[in-house]
Structure 1
């Protein structure tokens, strides 16, 4: 049975600052991986299982750039090749562990979990706002006990803000405003404008101007699991819906979700802004505030996963607001199906039919 995630894709394995000259184990798409930085700063990602007896290499230690198994002392280089075996001079030529392709970009370390011949760095999702000097911000990681697709669903439909996040970013306008959905081969975009509304508390604090606002949420999904959301408010009548956001405040909510197992995931997020760039205190305030908002999501999503586990035969009902999530699911399903073509039965069974 195929897994609900494509393997031929780049997945964030950690923030760049998470990977040090120390062994860091992580499970990605059901695969156990151990990561570390070499002396020259390169990130290594190896299968976390010794060739000899499958003991996790993350239970071993580093000697320079060499990883030493903590069970029998086999040594591996950064390419996963065994370079030493105890009590023998000849090294079995098959003695190696899988090394995963790695790219560092947009403050994240990305791993390619599928066919290494297809690991094109140009396919890393665009999250450039995370390190662009025109934007300032920070983020965190959440370990969520749910199917990664539930997080994507949650981000593709922000009407839940009205009900889950009413004290911060939600108000009635989010649930009632019309929206447009467009889609491509690997992308889905949901655009929502709320014109002439009261700014919710979070945005009122950022804008610091009284009066009604025009608010926007432009959600862009890139398969299989990256969602970047262009958000902001501007005083009503200053031209934001027509493209002039100069009187407003703009942010991006950057999200990339990495499946751990069928029912758990690593959720990497950041919030960046294009105003008051040098105020580190504001960066920390927003990061901690958004962390609180996302914890509200975490509670809802884990409860949803538990209910799904208890009711495995129930199917989801969809509303108009689910259009973006439905398209994202279709894109993911196509990627998974492409990697798992239907198998023809053996010839003797075909003949019997």
Structure 2
């Protein structure tokens, strides 16, 4: 079961060019495509005639044409044309989904009932339009349930063990980091501070530090996505809690959308600022971030395979699980509200 009547990430605007894209969200097959007017639309991925996936069709000025018998569908889901037949049956239509594009992120509204309309705007992520940052991103597919990805992103203590080549650092400092967990409404915030740390490889590649660094990690969980602000400054150069702090900044967007009960779409971007006396290192930051997330993918998929092997084995919680556990309780409540 999933929380419905929610916006979920469906992709990035740059993905949608000359071909439709098939994706499944919350067990519902969907085709997404760019219309002749340049907007992005979404329909159920099924022709109402003989059920060929519409994602196998072609884009035209007026809509999406089925690749089997040529039925043409408007972005509204209505059939506009049946080749060789003048009369179009009233039932010749497919289910449309509401789509919104903000800050180059494509959002899809997943209603509890077909035809349900959004009761709020799609989330904003202003970092993508902030001139202080450059960003890049990608889309990954996980053979694992979506909440395991939430757990991973809300608990960054694993960095010192999993990501030694990129954003890791001293594992002991990570496990002993000063940590505060806050909860407000449907949002969980995990704040972690690590003063006088050794800078990890990604940081030293992108920023010139004098020696040890004061390092912060601020994570905000929402049902459909997480916003992670990490970075560092020279040790003692200023408060790690100052919203206007200087130094090296990495801003991560993590859209976590269930595909099925046991698979997930992971849409991510990383944004970084540039050191005034260094060349632009965005390509390096992106490449090392991609390596980091690929390492996470290997761990999470192996974790899930083993969970299936040891289905009845008990698990324990430790001190780093406070944030993930709070997020799980929020999801459980939202699922109950949808069902109710």
TM-score scaled to structure 1, two decimals? 0.89
Q: 1:168 to 1:263 in 2, by over 3 A?
A: same
Match of 1:38 in 2: 35
2:197 touches 2:212 (CA, 8 Å); kept in 1?
yes
Match of 2:158 in 1: 160
5+ long unaligned stretches in structure 2: none
3-state DSSP of counterpart to 2:159: helix
5+ long unaligned stretches in structure 1: 342-353
Match of 2:130 in 1: 132
CA shift, 1:88, in A, is: 3.6
Report which of the two structures shows the higher radius of gyration computed on alpha carbons. Answer: 1
CA-to-aligned-CA distance 1:130-157 (integer Å, 9 cap, x gap): 2222221211111111111111100000
CA shift, 1:49, in A, is: 0.5
3-state DSSP of counterpart to 1:51: coil
Q: Distance in 2 between matches of 1:271 and 1:36?
A: 25
2:209 touches 2:233 (CA, 8 Å); kept in 1?
no
Q: 1:49 to 1:214 in 2, by over 3 A?
A: same
Q: Distance in 1 between matches of 2:13 and 2:84?
A: 38
Q: 1:279 to 1:112 in 2, by over 3 A?
A: farther
Match of 2:81 in 1: 84
| Residues 1:96 and 2:79 aligned together | no
CA shift, 1:238, in A, is: 1.7
2:141 touches 2:266 (CA, 8 Å); kept in 1?
yes
Q: Distance in 1 between matches of 2:196 and 2:277?
A: 30
Q: 1:93 to 1:193 in 2, by over 3 A?
A: same
Match of 2:329 in 1: 330
Match of 1:13 in 2: 10
Q: Distance in 1 between matches of 2:309 and 2:70?
A: 45
Instruction: Using the TM superposition, name which of 228-237 and 304-313 deviates more.
Output: 304-313
CA shift, 1:316, in A, is: 3.4
Q: Distance in 2 between matches of 1:292 and 1:151?
A: 16
CA shift, 1:277, in A, is: 8.4
3-state DSSP of counterpart to 1:218: strand
CA-to-aligned-CA distance 1:245-290 (integer Å, 9 cap, x gap): 5542222121111111111111111111233489885111111111
Q: 1:288 to 1:52 in 2, by over 3 A?
A: same
1:51 touches 1:95 (CA, 8 Å); kept in 2?
yes
3-state DSSP of counterpart to 1:251: strand
CA-to-aligned-CA distance 1:22-50 (integer Å, 9 cap, x gap): 22111111111111112221111111101
1:239 touches 1:245 (CA, 8 Å); kept in 2?
no
Match of 2:252 in 1: 253
Match of 2:308 in 1: 309
CA shift, 1:105, in A, is: 0.9
3-state DSSP of counterpart to 1:183: strand
Q: 1:13 to 1:277 in 2, by over 3 A?
A: farther
